Amino acid sequence: MNQKTSWWRSWEITVDSDWIMTIGMVLLFAFIAFLLGWSIRDLLFDKVDYRALQGARRGWFDALTYVLGAVYSFVFAYSFPGKHLKVAFSLLATEYAVRFAIEYLHIGASVHHSAAVAGSIARQVAFAIILVAIIQWFRSVVRWFSPPNPEVSGS
């Protein structure tokens, strides 16, 4: 136990970023992880059917949400330089576009569940890619180093 405590005390962490960005990335990571967990739970318990909430989604606000979600996801797909993030945001944009098409183009009821499951899987893959990108960002800005031990040099 004492050896583990001394090992942790002999290492220091530095972050090569400002605190606002670091805290923002931690909060974004937690939020995306929460959304991924929620999406997996819905898929496991078969709660991904788009028809289940059609009664609550019959307004202009929902249409606006789907359209803005697709547009912003496509904008994010083209604004990030990494290929993986482009794929992730393209998957999210496609999922929003399919939701809009299913809801407002009156596609047959037999397609609803299949499209919902495919959209849920696409969303989960996109969330996983975004989480990996955040982890890679943390790996690039977090540095571990061992400070010089003053007790050893004094002897």
pLDDT tens digit sequence for 49-101 = 655 445 445 567 767 777 888 888 888 888 888 888 899 999 999 888 887 77
* Residue 1 located in a structural domain: no
Give the list of residues 6+ apart from residue 144 with CB closer than 8 angstroms, or none. Answer: 11, 12, 13
Residues spanned by the domain of 79:
21-143
State the alpha helices, DSSP H only, in 45-108: 60-79, 83-104
* Residue 51 located in a structural domain: yes
Q: What is the largest CA-CA distance in the chain?
A: 81
* Residue 150 located in a structural domain: no
Tokens of 142: 């977090």
* Residue 136 located in a structural domain: yes
* Residue 14 located in a structural domain: no
- Encode burial over 129-139: b for 16+ CB neighbours within 10 A, e otherwise: bbbebbeebee
* Residue 102 located in a structural domain: yes
The two counts, helices (H) then strands (E), for the chain are 6, 2
Task: Give the per-residue pLDDT at 14.
Answer: 74
In 3-state terms, the chain is what percent helix, strand and coil (to 5)?
75, 5, 15
Task: Give the per-residue pLDDT at 9.
Answer: 60
* Structural domain count, the chain: 1
* Residue 3 located in a structural domain: no
Q: How far is CA 112 from CA 48, 55, 57, 118, in A?
A: 10, 15, 14, 10
* Residue 9 located in a structural domain: no
Q: Which of 5-9, 91-95, 100-104 has the lowest mean pLDDT?
A: 5-9
47 membership: H or E segment, kind and range = none
